[in-house]
Amino acid sequence: MTGAAAARRYALLNFLLWLPAGLYLVPLVLLMLDRGLPVSTIAAVGIVYGLTTAVLELPTGGLADVLGRRPVLIASAVAGAAGLLLLGLAGTVALFLASAVLRGAARALSTGPLEAWYVDTVHAELGRDADLTAGLARGEVAASLALGAGTLVGGLLPLALGDTGPLPALAVPVLMASGVEVLRALLTTRLSEPPHPRPAAGAVLRGVPATIAAGLRAAGRDRALTRLLLAAGGAGIALGTIELLTPAWLAGLSSGPRAAATYAVVAAAGFGADAIGGLLAAAAVRRFGSHARAASAGWTVSALALAGLAGCALLTGAVSVVLAGVSYCVLFIGLGAAFPAQAHLLHERVEPGERATVLSVQSLLMQAVGAVGIALIGWQATRNGIAVGYSISAVVLLASAVLFLRLRTAWRTAAAEVHA
């Protein structure tokens, strides 16, 4: 497969990977409330989903490095389809918990293998010096468009349908998401990947822990790679802050049945802005002269946008809403432009046999750091106001942007250590 064909296939599968998440983002909590679950139980379902994802994150990344990208991607689609089907039809707490486990497993299985497949394919065709930014940005744009379109459909379709059909309106987007996962599984079966030996079952079981250990060692021994992973953790805090504080901000603007539709439109605008940022990623690398400077600039723009949101939270009236909307979109444009450059830097430092595992390490770090960070930020926002929460997140993201500075020097140092 040529590099251009791999980029197209990567974008298509990335679109199908993230479309279900957009479709059920808005109905998720509302559907469980509609089925009679109290808020405390809904929180427990969310915790089960998060724990399942965290526990399986590294093992599934190692499995993709040992067994191959395609079978793990197919397994993620099958688990996702089953979990979403169960979510749409569940009527008891036990079934909602089972759905959370399946969806968490699907999320863990899907972290890393598709991006690793694309990088492996391009490297096999064009060599390790190939620039990955344009293809990775194409996947970023596809994912953002999928999340945006899915969020709009998931938020507005139940409002349009009402409860006159054979199924509850809130369940329709969830069942549509399950169908998308089935389609992704079918298309993934036709995915070709660079040749690799097919290990026996015993070799797989022995190889996964060894691969995980190798991926963790790679992340720890390379100072440049460690800095890239820490910068991703800072971005995780920023994204978590947006997810936590933005609904609280919107709650003061709308309530009742239209609240879900309002949140869907705002979230879709953010995903659209992220897609615009992805389209600008390659140009940003050319403009700033290196991937490190482009990533740092994107992180900095997003940090300033978070500071702008903090200022808007202190204002009132229509002007504050407009300025907050602009800041919200600028934040996602900055991150959308920076993530492909950051990913290119990461893949330069990772060997094919460790690639999916290191991506899982990055995902787990973003989740863990984000969870701790937003807990502290949420506590501060509750005590001192939303503006304080946004301000803390802005400072953290700006500090993360500094990690990209002088990265080229650290790169040469790390390379010298490897070849010494």
Contact between 38 and 98 under an 8 Å Cβ cutoff? The reply is no
pLDDT digits (tens, 9 = 90+) for 13-45: 999 999 999 999 878 877 887 888 886 788 688
Query: Is 355 within 8 Å of 322 (Cβ atoms)?
Result: no
- pLDDT cut 90: percent of the chain above it: 26
Domain count, the chain: 1
Phi-psi region of 397 (alpha: psi -120 to 50; beta: other; left: phi over 0): alpha
- pLDDT exceeds 80 at position 140: yes
Joined tokens for residue 9: 């296939």
Alpha-helical segments (H) within 111-222: 113-126, 133-161, 171-188, 201-221
pTM: 0.71
Please give the average per-residue pLDDT across 148-176, as a whole number.
83
**Rounded CA separation 347/190 (Å):** 25
- Are 374 and 233 contacting, i.e. CB atoms less than 8 angstroms apart? no
For residue range 216-241, list pLDDT tens digits in order.
666 666 778 888 888 888 888 888 78
Torsion of CA 156, 161, 165, 166, to 10 degrees: 0
Cα gap 198→350, rounded to integer Å: 22
Q: Is the pLDDT of residue 408 over 60?
A: no
Most confident of 280-294, 307-321, 373-387, 404-418: 280-294
* CA atoms of 376 and 80, how far apart (whole Å): 31
pLDDT at residue 313 in the model: 75
Q: Which domain holds residue 112?
A: 3-419
- Give the closest residue to 138 by CA, choosing from 229, 259, 4, 22: 4
CATH of the domain at 289: 1.20.1250.20
